[in-house]
Chain A
Amino acid sequence: MEDYIVSVENATVRFNMASENIDNIKEYFVKLIQRKLMFQEFFALKDINLQIKRGEAWGIIGTNGSGKSTLLKLISGILKPYKGKVRVNGIIAPLIELGAGFDMNLTARENVFLNGTLLGHSKKYMEEHFDEIIEFAELWDFLDVPMKNYSSGMQARLGFSVATMVRPDILIVDEILAVGDYKFTKKCEQRMKEMLDGGTTLLFVSHTIEDIKEMCTHAIWIDKGIAMQQGLAEEVCNAYIAAQQ
C-alpha cells in the first residue's frame, strides 16, 4: 500500500450535464417545480483503479472527451471523486494548461512569483530559483513586459519553466508541448527525462503515440470514462492503435 505515490481506487466522477447550467434563482425555482432539478447525470469516469509507483512514467491515452483530463484533475485534487478514493503522497506540479495562473496585466517577473506561489512555494524559494527559471525560458529580454504582449509560445515557455523548476514528486503534463517551437519542445522533453531520471513520477497525456512510447513506461487507455486496459506502455499503445483502425 505505502509504496504507491498515487493510488486511485474505484473512483467515479459525476458531472451534472443538465442542458444549461442553472445559475439564477428564477430558473432554479422553475426547474424545482418541474422537478427537473436532479438532473442529467453524466459519469466522466467510472470505477477507475490506478496504482502508480514512485518513478514510473504513465501515459494516458484515449479519444477526445474520453476522460483523460478529468483523470488528471482528479489526481491533482482539482476535482473530488463522487465515489471512491484518491490518495497522493507528494508534491504535484500540474501542467494542465500552461499559463493558467498568469495574470495578463502583470509583467513576466511578477507572474513568476504569482505562479510559483500558486503552486504552493514560498516567495523566498522563488527568488532563489528566479534566474534559473528565466534562463531556461530564455526570456531575459522581456522580463518587464506585461504578459498580454507575449505570444502563446512565450507564455508556454515561462509556464513550463516555472512548473518544472520546482522539483515536484509528480509531474502532470496535459498536451502542452504542442505550442513551443521545435527547439524548445526538445528542451522540454530533455528536462522531463532528467526529472524522470531524478525520480519524479510522470503522468502524461498525448495524442502522439510515439511520444508516449518514448517517454512512458506504463500506460492507461480510457474510453468513455472506463479504463479499457492498463499496463506496459508498448502493449497498451498497440492495443489502442489496433482498436482505432
Chain B
Amino acid sequence: MNLIGRMQGFYKYKDLLVQLVSRDLKLKYRRSFLGYVWSILNPLLLMLVMTIVFSHIFRFDIANYPVYLIIGQTLYNYMNNSTTHAIYSITDNGPLLKKTYVPKYIFTLAKITSGLVDFLFSLGAMLLVMIFTGISLNFKMLYLPVIAVQLYLFCLGLGMFLAQAAVFFRDIQYIYNVVLMAWMYCTPVFYPMDVLPATLQWLVSHFNPLYIYIQQFRSIVLENQFVSMRFEGLGWLYAFIALLLGCITFFRSQDKFILYI
C-alpha cells in the first residue's frame, strides 16, 4: 500500500485512535480514589524519595537537584512506559486482529500516544517543582513541546519495532527489560554527566538519544539556553532513524502477524 493510501486509512480510523487512548487513560485510574491526580502525584513522590536518597546518601554536586532529577526521570519514564506497553500492543490485541480488519499499527500508536498524555500530566508535576524551587519561566520554554515531539517520534519508532518483533519472538519482552535497566544507568538521570569517564561521556552524548532529549530539556529549563544546532540535529536524526526502522520492519512483517498471534 502506498503512502497516500495509508494516510487515508489513518484518517478513517482517527476516531479509533482517540477511543483507544481514552480507554487506556480511563482504565488506568478507574476505581482509584484520586484518579488523574496520581499522574501528577506519582512523579512528585518518586522525585521526593530520590531527592532524599541522593542528597543524603550519595551526594552529587548538582545545582537545583530536584528539577534536574525530575526532568530526567519524567523523560526516561515516558520512554520506558510507552515502549514497554507498545511491546504488547499487537499480541494483546491478537483476538481482535483475528476477527476484524483494522490497521495494526493503530494499537501501537495508541499506546505511545496514551503514554504521551501521561507525560503531559507529569509536566504539571515538573512545573510545580520548578515553581517551588524558584526557577523563573522563560520564553525559551515554548520550545519544550518540540523536544517532546522528537521524543514521541523516537518512542513511536522504537515501539513499532519492538511490537512487531515481539509477535515473532516473545523473548523480546524479557530482553528489553534488561536493556531498559542498562539504558537507565547509561543515562545521566540521577547523576551528573561528569562522573562518567571521558570515553563513556563521549559515547553517551553521541549515541544515547534519550540523553540528547533530556539534555535539551535541562539546558532550556535550568540554564535558559538552547543546545548547539548540531546536538539538536542529532536528536532529530535519531528520532527519524527510529521511526524509519520501526515503520519498515512493522509494515514489512504485518501480514504475517496473524499466523503468529
Q: Which residues from chain B contact A92 at a C-beta distance below 8 Å?
A: 101
Closest CB of chain B to A196's CB: distance in Å?
Answer: 22
Picked from B18, B27, B170, B258, the residue with its CB within 8 Å of the CB of A79 is: B258
Contact A117 to B16, CB < 8 A, known contacts A15-B259, A94-B99, A105-B30: yes
Closest B residue to A99 using CB positions: B99
Closest CB of chain B to A186's CB: distance in Å?
Answer: 25
Contact A110 to B23, CB < 8 A, known contacts A23-B168, A24-B169, A25-B171: yes
Count of chain A residues with a beta carbon within 8 Å of a chain B beta carbon: 33
- Interface 1/0 per residue, A104-115 and B, CB below 8 Å: 011000100110
Which of B26, B100, B102, B260 has the most chain A CB atoms inside 10 A of its CB? B100
Q: Which residues from chain A contact B23 at a C-beta distance below 8 Å?
A: 103, 106, 110, 114
CA distance A184 to B18 in the complex (A): 32
Comparing B79-87, B90-98, B191-199, B230-238, the segment that makes contact with chain A is B90-98
Q: Which residues from chain A contact B102 at a C-beta distance below 8 Å?
A: 118
Interfacial residues of chain B within 65-110, with CB under 8 A of chain A in the complex = 95-102
Closest CB of chain B to A42's CB: distance in Å?
Answer: 11
Q: Which residues from chain B contact A122 at a C-beta distance below 8 Å?
A: 15
**Cβ-defined contact, B169 with A28, below 8 A:** yes
Picked from A23, A80, A100, the residue with its CB within 8 Å of the CB of B95 is: A100
Closest A residue to B20 using CB positions: A114
**Cβ-defined contact, B15 with A78, below 8 A:** no
Q: Which residues from chain A contact B13 at a C-beta distance below 8 Å?
A: 117, 120
**Cβ-defined contact, A118 with B16, below 8 A:** yes
Q: Which residues from chain B contact A26 at a C-beta distance below 8 Å?
A: 171
B residues neighboring A (CB under 8 Å): 12-13, 15-16, 18-20, 23, 26-27, 30, 95-102, 168-171, 255, 258-260
A residues neighboring B (CB under 8 Å): 15-16, 21, 23-26, 28, 73, 76-80, 92, 94, 96-97, 100-101, 103, 105-106, 110, 113-114, 117-123
